[in-house]
Structures are given as C-alpha cells and as structure tokens.
Amino acid sequence: AVFHSFQLLQMNKQNNGTSCSIQIDSMNNHSKLGLLITIDSIHEVCEGKKSEIFRRYADNRFDPNCCFSIYYGERVKSLDLVSTNSEEARTWITGLKYLMAGISDEDSLTFSEADKNGDGTLSIGEVHQLLHKLNVNLPKQKVREMFQADTDENQGSLAFEEFCSFYKMISTRRDLYLIMISYSNQKEVMDLHDLARLTNYMRSPAGDIFNPEHNQVNQDMTQPLCNYFISTSHNTYLTGDQLLSQSRVEMYAYVLQAGCRCVEVDCWDGPDGEPIIHHGYTLTSKILFKDVVETINKYAFTKSQYPVILSIENHCTVPQQKKMAEYLKEVLQDKLDLTNVNAHECKKLPSPEILKGKVLVKVTLVCLLFRKRKTMRLSRALSDLVKYTKSVRVCVFLFYLAAYTNSWQVSSLNETVMNQILQLKPAELVRLNQRQLLRVYPSNYRVDSSNFNPQPYWNAGCHMVAMNYQTEGRMLELNQAKFSSNGNCGYILKPKCMCKTAFNPALEDPLPGHRKTQLVLKIISGQQLPKPKDSMFGDRGEIIDPFVEVEIIGLPIDCSKQQTRVVDDNGFNPMWEETLVFNIQMPQIALVRFQVWDHDPIGRDFIGQRTVAFRSMMPGYRHVYLEGMAESSIFVHVAINDITGKVGCFKNKNWHI
C-alpha cells in the first residue's frame, strides 16, 4: 500500500543505544500504520514513483514530486510515502539522507543509562549492575575498593567525571601494557596517557587484521574471464524460501551493491504479453522482467565497474523472448555487450578490464519433462544477445575433450552432480575450468534457500558458485570474505596452478615442490565481548565464559580448527595468551575464520565471528573485530613462515603462484 498524510512521531535511540531510529504514524483508508525504522537499516531513499508499489498506480493518482520510497531491512522492503506537498517531500528526503550519512557507532553504555534512579550519580549498586552488563565479574569487595579510590571524600557515589575516571581504570589494557613494557626493556618509559594513545592507535583501522590495500582492487584484471572466481547470486529475485517468499526487484539492487557480478533471472510468459520473473510452479510472487532490467541498469556499476553477467533461465515462448530482447537493448543500450564472436577464432575470453561497464547475457533454454516433451525454441532476437556466455550441457565425455571446448561456452551444474564429479574426476574438472566458465547452483532440495559450502567448488576452479544472498550465515560469510580481498569488485584472480597446469585439489600434496606455509596465531585477549544474542535472560543472564576457535577453510588437506581454553566469568577483557599453529599447503585460496563462543555445561552459544582471506591478513599485533559489533574484538599476533622458518612475503604478486 501507499501511505499518505503521515507524520514523524519521534526520533530516538534504540535500547542498546547503537543506532538512531524514526517512528512514523500514518492514516490510510481509515487504517493506522505505526512503523519504527532504524536509520542504519535504510539502504536507500528514492524520490519519485520508482518502486514496484508506485508503478502499480498508473492512473497518475499521486504527484511524483510528493512521492518517495524508503528501502530498508535485510530483505530490502520498501516503505512508499506521499507527502502533502513537494517541499515536505524534499525535506524528508534530504533529512533522511543526512541522517544516513551521519550515523556512527558509539558506546552503548553511557553514564545516563547506568544511572537508574536519575540522581546524576552512580551508587555502588548501580556500578555493580554496570559491570555485570559489561560482562565483568568482580567480587563486591574489589568493586568497593575501586569505587572508593575514585570517589571524592568517599561520598559513596560517582559523579560524571569520577565515572569517566573509574571507567578508564577498569578498561586499561593490561595486554598492551605488557607489550609496551616488553619492547622497552622492562623500563616504564611511557605513562598512562601514552598507553591510552597506544590503545587508541591499536584499535584504529591501522591495527585491524585486514590489509587496508585490499579495500581497493589490487589484482591483475587483464587476464581471461576463466582465470577468475566471480561473485554469483542464485534466484536473485527471492527474499526468502524457494516456495512461498516474495519476489522483489530491490533484491537485484541489494546484491549488485554487495559486489555480486552474476545475477539470475527466471523468465516466464506473463499476462498482456509481458514476460515475468518468479520461481516457477511455486507460490512465490511475480515481478516484471522490464522492471528487473531497469533496476540492473541503474545499479550494475555503482559498486564495481567490472562486467555483470545476466544469467537468464528462459521458460518463455518466442513472442515473449522477443519482448525480452527488446527490453534488454532499449534499457541497457551501450552497456549491453554485442561484440561479434567467431566460434573458430575466439580461443580466449576477454578480460574483466576490457569488459568494464558491460553486461553479458547468458541464456539457458529450459524444457521440462512434464511439459509432454513440448519443443522449446530460442528466438533469434534473444540468442543474438548471447556472445561470450553461451549455455551448454556438460557430459562426462566433455571432461576428456576439455582442450577442444569453446572458451565462450558456459555450463551450469547443480551441487549434487558437482559433488559426484568432485569425487570421481577432480583434476578433469579443474582442466575444464581452465578453458570455459562453469556455474554451480544449489540443489532443488534446498527449498529453505539454505546455502552450500562454496569452498570445495572454488578448490576445483569453478568460476561462478551461486549463493542465496537472502540467507545469512556461515556459508555466505565465507563468500563475502573471499571477495573482500580484491576491493569487493566481484572478481578474484585464481592461482596460476589452477589456470595453466595440471592440478588435483584432492591430493595430499597438490603442489609438489612448492613451499608450504605455517601460520602462527597467538590469541592474546578479548575486548567487550557481548552475551549471546539468543541468550534467554538477555543482559540479566550470567556473565559469559568465552573461548576462541580458529578454523582454516581451503583445500581438504588444509582444513582444520583449533581453540583456546575457556576463560570463566569475563566477557569484558578475557586473557588467553595461547598460540595456535597451522600448516597450510595452499594459502592462496584459504580463508581464516575466527569464532568466539560462550562455554556452557550443556554446549556452547555463538557470540560472533570474523572471516578473512588468508592473503588479506596483516602480520604483527592486530585486532580482529567481530562482524556487526563495532567495539567487540579479539587481540592477536600474526606470524607467517615458510616451512624452513623464513618469514613469508605479503606482497600481492607473490601470492599468485
């Protein structure tokens, strides 16, 4: 529905104090809407009648100058609003964009929040509650001693300045102090102010484990497309499961802005000669093909300039295929790559650099058995748009003829078939991937839109491993970590051994004669680790007993995990001081996953994680910030050695062997 005659009721902070929110009240057709939206959940504010909902109103009922849409939430919902006049709409749009630009993380535990009775001071009881909320377990006597040391004339309460002093006392980093002393030959050459400055520096982006140079494109982008892993989305239009969820054009904007370079479009005949997109033979909702193409045109190159592959699963009849071709040419115009390709002369695919700003069309013609073997034809108009990405079926015989396949052919296989091939012919699969593009997509049995583990397919050089971007979790986090190492541009250069030579990822020694790598991780401490999100008692629950688990995800021979001991009753500043050692055969494609858990007598509760590509890790003392938790981190020391103990090189060119 479209809501008008609305008003802003209030702007406030969420209970945890980490983000601002707006509360909107509206009267529409005698039904009241009350909606609370956090500013940091807003993806975009669009002026005019550009959303799917507004497009349904073709009768010019609303003035476009008074209309705007707010796209928000994990699944990119739209809130469509009509103001009383254009000036009011302009004020809303400008104000929301200003707030979106100005939102920043801040400490959630402020003096006013700790002051329960509102008298402007903190009593011993309020301080003890604050410490419990901070995940600090101190005996009451110790709290009393610290409390009295920071209270003027032992008044029994803390004013604001005294509270700041008290907070500095409990948050002083003992781990950094010990490091500072060890590098100064046991002499205290720095005072507490110097320690505070060192702490601020180590907690700044300069002290993060992620290499800041990898926030930009840092790899060679001039090699053929088949030499790259390509960030790929499965059934891009869906917001949830494969059977009942909504289809939304906004999902294309979401995945493209997340760095995805290959999106999927399932096309079917629609009413009035208009092709539609939905998951066939299910109850998922339908959207117009034209609207999707317009959205792709708008967002294709806002995040990355490298080519977008439009993977079309075509169920349409020839007349509607012609309509699809018309829309692609009319909307995409010069973005649509129409380069003439000679099948006998095109031995190599072009590079991402050459194809910058271009959209490539890949079309799969689908003819299902229960259509009584009805013949499906591909229209000439649509087939003419397919240049470097012609869909072909893969058979076992093809693996033995990989050297003779056309480089511009693309094969798509589901995970079930791929797993069989990985078991039987892994080296042949790598060989095929050296010549042409291969796409892997989830099994039809994943009706809940769950994701498979992408790593085994990357190990075999599969280019396009399709993920359900609407489903968060471990597997999508691995995908995000992999593509973050090249500026999140959607393309990752494969190791040379996957591009030119015989390579078998299943062997115990896949790279004979090459140096092996040793990763030495010292897990030193943790900072402000929260209680588990799904804790039954929330902030009132027990103080956590954290431990850290580190996992290497890569070739089968490299996959392993280790963990630290458990620290009892301390989520604020636990100390582990434990060293974990990993031997890795092929670090070029490995991911390192840090996970923090709360130990429980009957199991463990997940607190947070950070996954980093091995090649993106910085050496030395580093903070590993947990995803989505600005202040929560673990402090580590990273050392990378070759098998003889020599220090490994971190230059990007040396990672591409």
Higher pLDDT, 200 or 192: 200
Residues 366-373 have a mean pLDDT of 42
Whose CA is closest to 439, among 505, 509, 390?
390
- Which tokens belong to 638? 């990273």
Span(s) in the chain for CATH 2.60.40.150: 517-655
pLDDT digits (tens, 9 = 90+) for 331-368: 999 999 877 655 445 568 899 999 999 999 988 766 44
41: exposed, middle or buried (C-beta count within 10 Å: 0-12, 13-18, 19+)?
middle
User: For residue 188, what pLDDT is reported?
Assistant: 57
- Which tokens belong to 513? 């004669």
Q: Sorting pLDDT into bands at 50, 70 and 90, what band is 275?
A: very high
Q: Which residues contact 255 (CB under 8 A, 6 or more apart)?
A: 233, 236, 263, 469
> What is the pTM for the complete model shown?
0.78
Given CATH 3.40.50.460, say whether it is the number of domain 517-655. Answer: no
Under CATH, which number does the domain 111-207 receive? 1.10.238.10
Span(s) in the chain for CATH 2.30.29.30: 3-102
Given CATH 3.40.630.30, say whether it is the number of domain 225-499. Answer: no
Span(s) in the chain for CATH 1.10.238.10: 111-207
3-state class (DSSP) for residue 65: helix
Interatomic CA distance for residues 88 and 6, integer angstroms: 11
Q: Which residues contact 141 (CB under 8 A, 6 or more apart)?
A: none
Q: Which residues are catalytic?
A: 234, 278
Question: What's the alpha-carbon Rg for the chain, to the nearest Å?
Answer: 28
pLDDT digits (tens, 9 = 90+) for 414-467: 999 999 999 999 999 999 999 889 999 999 999 999 999 999 999 999 999 999
Whether 230 has a pLDDT exceeding 80, the answer reads: yes
Classify residue 45 by its DSSP letter: E
Under CATH, which number does the domain 3-102 receive? 2.30.29.30
- Taking each continuous run of H as one helix and of E as one strand, the counts in the chain are 18, 28
pLDDT digits (tens, 9 = 90+) for 601-643: 888 999 999 999 999 999 999 999 999 887 899 999 999 998 7
User: For residue 402, what pLDDT is reported?
Assistant: 46
Whether 403 has a pLDDT exceeding 80, the answer reads: no
Higher pLDDT, 147 or 444: 444
Interatomic CA distance for residues 399 and 657, integer angstroms: 25
Phi, psi (rounded to 5 degrees) for 346? -80, 90
Percent of the chain whose pLDDT exceeds 70: 76
Interatomic CA distance for residues 574 and 548, integer angstroms: 11
Mean pLDDT lowest for which of 114-128, 305-319, 485-499?
Answer: 114-128
Q: Sorting pLDDT into bands at 50, 70 and 90, what band is 257?
A: very high
